[in-house]
C-alpha cells in the first residue's frame, strides 16, 4: 500500500535499526523498551527468520525514513518456542544489562520469552505482536494503513481465518479506540500475572473495516 506521503513495504534487515529506534520512541516506558535495543533487535529480527513471521514498515516517500512498523505471525503456536530454541542465547545476552539493573524482572522476562499471545478459542488466527508509529506521524493514517496491509497479507494465507492481538486495557484509550475503528472486536479482557489488565481483540475475515485515521 502507498500514499503520497509514505509507502508500506516488507520489513527487511536494513530496517531493523530504524524499527528499534521507533519502538523506543513510541513506547519509552514499556517492558520491552526497558530490556534495551539489543533485545528489541532480536525481537524484530525474529519476524525475518521464521516462515510464519510477517513484518511491514512504512517509509516516508521523500527521504525513506521509517515512520511505522508492524510485526506478527500467521501461526503463533510453536512460533516463540522455535524462536527460543534457535536464539535463546542471543535473547539472554541481549537482556543481560537489564537484569543487572533490575534483577527482579527475571520472572517477567521468562514469561515474556515464553509468551504465546493468549490465543483465543475458535478458528486459526494470526497474531499481531506489535505496531509502533512515530509520534510525529500519528493521526496521519499510517497506523491504520500498516494494520490494514498486515491483515490483508494474512488474509492471503490459506490456513489463517482471522487475526487477534492483546493490548493494555487501562490508560490506553486511544489505542483501544484505534483498533475498534479498524473493525477489530473486543473478544475478552483478562489480568496477567503481573496485574496488568489486558484487552484481547479479534478480526475474523469478512468483517468490514471502518475508515478512520490514527
pLDDT digits (tens, 9 = 90+) for 42-86: 889 989 988 889 999 999 988 889 999 999 999 877 556 666 666
> Which cell numbers hold the place of 17?
535499526
- Per-domain residue ranges of the chain: 6-204
Cβ of 92: how many Cβ atoms within 10 Å?
15
How far is it, in rounded angstroms, from Cα 181 to Cα 213? 9
User: From the centroid of its chain, how far is CA 131?
Assistant: 4
Cell numbers placing 89 = 542465547
C-beta separation of 209 from 148 below 8 A: yes
pLDDT-based confidence at residue 114 (cuts at 50, 70, 90): low
Instruction: Please identify, in words, the CATH class of the domain defined by 6-204.
Output: alpha beta
* Spatial CB neighbours of 173, under 8 Å, sequence gap ≥ 6: none
Q: Which three cell numbers stand for residue 187?
A: 473478544
pLDDT for the residue 171: 92
Whether the per-residue pLDDT at 210 is higher than 50: the answer is: no
* Cα distance between residue 89 and residue 211, in whole Å: 43
Please report which helix (H) or strand (E) contains residue 163, including its range. strand 162-168
In 3D, which of 11, 7, 15 has the Cα closest to residue 55? 11
For 92, the enclosing helix (H) or strand (E) is helix 79-94
* Nearest residue to 130 (alpha-carbon basis) of 51, 38, 53, 207: 53
> What is the share, in percent, of the chain residues with pLDDT greater than 90?
52
pTM for the full model? 0.81
Which residues are within 8 A (CB) of 64 and not within 5 positions of it... i.e. 6 or more apart? none
Our measurement of the distance from residue 181's CA atom to the centroid of its chain's CA atoms, rounded to an integer in Å, reads 18
Mean pLDDT of the chain: 83
pLDDT-wise least confident of 29-33, 56-60, 104-108, 185-189: 104-108
Query: What pLDDT, on the 0 to 100 scale, is given for residue 213?
Result: 42
Amino acid at each position: 500500500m502507498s500514499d503520497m506521503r509514505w509507502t508500506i513495504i516488507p520489513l527487511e534487515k536494513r530496517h531493523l535499526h530504524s524499527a528499534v529506534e521507533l519502538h523506543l520512541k513510541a513506547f519509552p516506558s514499556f517492558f520491552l523498551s526497558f530490556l534495551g535495543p539489543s533485545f528489541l533487535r532480536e525481537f524484530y529480527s525474529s519476524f525475518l527468520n521464521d516462515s510464519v513471521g510477517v513484518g511491514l514498515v512504512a517509509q516516508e516517500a521523500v527521504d525513506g525514513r521509517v515512520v511505522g512498523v508492524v510485526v506478527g505471525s500467521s501461526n503463533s503456536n510453536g512460533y516463540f518456542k522455535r524462536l527460543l530454541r534457535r536464539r535463546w542465547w542471543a535473547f539472554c545476552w541481549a537482556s543481560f544489562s537489564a537484569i543487572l539493573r533490575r534483577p527482579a524482572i527475571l520472572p517477567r522476562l521468562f514469561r515474556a520469552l515464553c509468551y504465546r499471545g493468549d490465543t483465543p478459542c475458535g478458528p486459526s488466527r494470526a497474531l499481531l505482536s506489535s505496531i509502533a508509529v512515530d509520534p510525529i506521524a500519528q493521526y496521519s493514517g499510517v497506523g491504520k494503513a500498516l494494520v490494514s496491509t498486515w491483515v490483508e497479507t494474512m488474509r492471503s494465507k490459506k490456513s489463517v481465518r482471522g487475526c487477534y492481538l492483546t493490548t493494555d486495557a487501562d490508560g490506553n484509550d486511544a489505542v483501544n479506540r484505534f483498533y475498534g475503528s479498524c473493525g477489530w472486536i473486543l473478544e475478552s479482557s483478562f489480568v496477567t500475572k503481573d496485574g496488568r489488565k489486558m484487552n484481547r481483540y479479534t478480526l475474523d475475515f469478512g468483517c468490514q473495516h471502518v475508515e478512520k485515521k490514527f
